[in-house]
């Protein structure tokens, strides 16, 4: 493969922060004032192709992820791209299997967020070398190549490589039909940006109206800070979107298990499709208890803080969730996502990725296309999150049309930021921070 005859020569890591807390964009009951940020990495090569990747953070702490990215990136210098892509499972394990770094995980927290950035940058590099978007690179893989990129350690009690192959082989003959459909129609989305907790009622009302006009039929509301205000806000949103549209609710981990059930009882009249992150992301059995108490009056969703495939496995095994919200860089990048998509398919749980923040929409559009074309072969009950912030900083920002993501066609993982944005928002030396 001539395309891949390139070698990584160096890397650059940047701490990039956007002052979104100024207008409370992205605010919720737990994250009251996020500054949407990226721990960002660029792999340079001996050609003009660069691999870009990032992991999403909320401001303070981005420097910790940058340090972890440095620790991992150095391991890729002098590697040939072909040497990395020939065995993507082994490439993933360069990050997750380091015999010393592993101690500060394993496969969780800042070091795993860093793995997400680094592995995603390698996929970006590979896809650019092959002149394909990442989703198409994966959609063109044989079932064997797809499975070869996954680390099945710790999940074979839920799905074996053979079972994974069976799923992919069954879908392979019809992949082209679904690909054509996605190119023509795009992937259905829902919006969160109308319902941030820190927005005034008037602003929420206006944003709901605008989103409806743009074709959205699914809306997410932030809850969990003050029950009376949640009830008032739910009534307000319902009055704007009606009961033909779908309302979701997101508590961002604020409640204890019993508190979650009691609080939601009072919000059920507004018919939320699901309650997202009702409690700690590590509490598998707590999610199962909440689900048992509320199902089917509402359902349970989680994923943006689920640290790895093992916890997703347990959530599936324990019947703890109804919607699986993979996060493109919370877990260790594309490889681990593929494992989670396959498990979700086996347990018949729809995948509705977490997006928003900065860069997450750009990433996850690829993942939902992979899910539909190769794995789930269904869009039923599936919507991909959309948040209308910071897209202007990307070279190839997401494109929405009538409440759907338009399939991205540019090479790579759509995550490359404009050089000017990288410079201006680098913390603390960039122009935006110096002038603040």
Ligand X SMILES: C[C@H](O)[C@@H](O)[C@@H](O)[C@H](O)C(=O)O
User: Which residues carry out catalysis?
Assistant: 222, 354
**Does residue 365 touch ligand X according to CB under 6 A?**
no
Closest approach, Cβ 250 to Mg ion, in A, equals 4
| Pattern 356-395, Mg ion, x by CB under 5 A | ----------------------------------------
Contact 353, 385 (CB under 8 A): yes
**4/31 with CB nearer ligand X:** 31
**Does residue 377 touch ligand X according to CB under 6 A?**
no
CA distance 247 to 235: 11
Phi, psi torsion values for 57, nearest 5 degrees: -140, 175
**Does residue 250 touch Mg ion according to CB under 5 A?**
yes
**192/368 with CB nearer ligand X:** 192
Closest approach, Cβ 64 to ligand X, in A, equals 17
**Does residue 327 touch Mg ion according to CB under 5 A?**
no
CA 257 from centre of chain: 25
Taking alpha carbons only, the member of 195, 223, 222 closest to residue 207 is: 195
**Does residue 73 touch ligand X according to CB under 6 A?**
no
DSSP designation for 32: S
Which two tokens mark 69? 């990215």
| Number of residues this chain uses to bind Mg ion (CB under 5 A) | 1
**Angle formed by the axes of helices 62-73 and 109-129, to 10°?**
60
Contact 150, 338 (CB under 8 A): yes
Which of Mg ion, ligand X, none has residue 356 at its interface (CB below 5 to 8 Å by kind)? ligand X
Taking alpha carbons only, the member of 63, 31, 53 closest to residue 427 is: 63
Which residue's Cβ has the minimum distance to Mg ion? 250
DSSP designation for 408: P
Interface with Mg ion by CB under 5 A: which range of 56-64, 227-235, 249-257, 261-269? 249-257
DSSP designation for 87: T
Which of Mg ion, ligand X, none has residue 357 at its interface (CB below 5 to 8 Å by kind)? ligand X
Of 6, 15, 34, 49, which lies in the binding site for ligand X, with binding defined by CB under 6 A?
Answer: 34
| Number of residues this chain uses to bind ligand X (CB under 6 A) | 13
Of 37, 85, 96, 192, which lies in the binding site for ligand X, with binding defined by CB under 6 A?
Answer: 192
| Pattern 41-60, ligand X, x by CB under 6 A | -----------------x--
Number of Cβ atoms within 10 Å of the Cβ of 401: 12
CA distance 160 to 313: 12
Closest approach, Cβ 218 to Mg ion, in A, equals 14
Contact 121, 43 (CB under 8 A): yes
> Under the rule (CB under 5 A), what is the footprint of Mg ion?
250
> Under the rule (CB under 6 A), what is the footprint of ligand X?
26, 28, 31, 34, 58, 192, 250, 252, 304, 354, 356-357, 385
């Amino acid at each position: 493969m001539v395309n891949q005859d390139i070698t990584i020569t160096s890397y650059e890591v940047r701490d990039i922060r956007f002052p979104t807390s100024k207008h409370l964009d992205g605010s919720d009951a737990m994250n009251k004032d996020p500054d949407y940020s990226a721990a960002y990495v660029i792999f340079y090569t001996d050609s003009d192709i660069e691999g870009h990747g990032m992991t999403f953070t909320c401001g303070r702490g981005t420097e910790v992820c940058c340090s972890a990215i440095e620790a991992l990136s150095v391991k890729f210098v002098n590697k040939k791209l072909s040497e990395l892509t020939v065995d993507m499972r082994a490439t993933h394990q360069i990050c997750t299997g380091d015999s010393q770094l592993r101690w500060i995980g394993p496969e969780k927290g800042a070091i795993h967020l860093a793995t997400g950035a680094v592995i995603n940058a390698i996929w970006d590099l590979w896809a650019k070398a092959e002149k394909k978007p990442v989703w198409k690179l994966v959609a063109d893989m044989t079932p064997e190549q797809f499975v070869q990129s996954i680390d099945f350690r710790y999940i074979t009690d839920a799905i074996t490589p053979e079972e994974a192959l069976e799923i992919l082989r069954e879908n392979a003959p019809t992949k082209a039909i679904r690909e054509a459909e996605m190119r023509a129609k795009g992937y259905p989305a829902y919006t969160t940006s109308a319902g941030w907790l820190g927005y005034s009622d008037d602003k929420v009302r206006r944003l709901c109206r605008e989103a409806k006009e743009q074709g959205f039929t699914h809306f997410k509301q932030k809850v969990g800070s003050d029950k009376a205000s949640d009830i008032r806000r739910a009534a307000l949103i319902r009055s704007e979107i009606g009961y033909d549209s779908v309302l979701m609710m997101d508590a961002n981990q604020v409640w204890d298990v019993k508190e979650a059930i009691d609080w939601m009882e009072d919000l059920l009249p507004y018919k939320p499709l699901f309650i997202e992150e009702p409690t700690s992301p590590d509490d598998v059995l707590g999610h199962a208890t909440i689900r048992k108490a509320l199902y089917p009056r509402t359902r349970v969703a989680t994923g943006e803080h689920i640290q790895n495939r093992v916890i997703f496995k347990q959530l599936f095994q324990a019947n703890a969730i109804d919607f699986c919200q993979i996060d493109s860089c919370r877990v260790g990048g594309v490889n681990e996502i593929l494992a989670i998509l396959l498990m979700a398919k086996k347990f018949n749980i729809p995948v509705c990725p977490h997006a928003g923040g900065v860069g997450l929409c750009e990433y996850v559009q690829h993942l939902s296309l992979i899910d539909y074309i190769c794995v789930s072969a269904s869009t039923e009950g599936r919507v991909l999150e959309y948040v209308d912030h910071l897209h202007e900083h990307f070279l190839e920002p997401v494109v929405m049309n009538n409440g759907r993501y338009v399939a991205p066609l540019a090479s790579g993982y759509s995550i490359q930021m404009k050089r000017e944005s990288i410079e201006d928002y680098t913390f603390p030396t960039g122009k935006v921070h110096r002038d603040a």
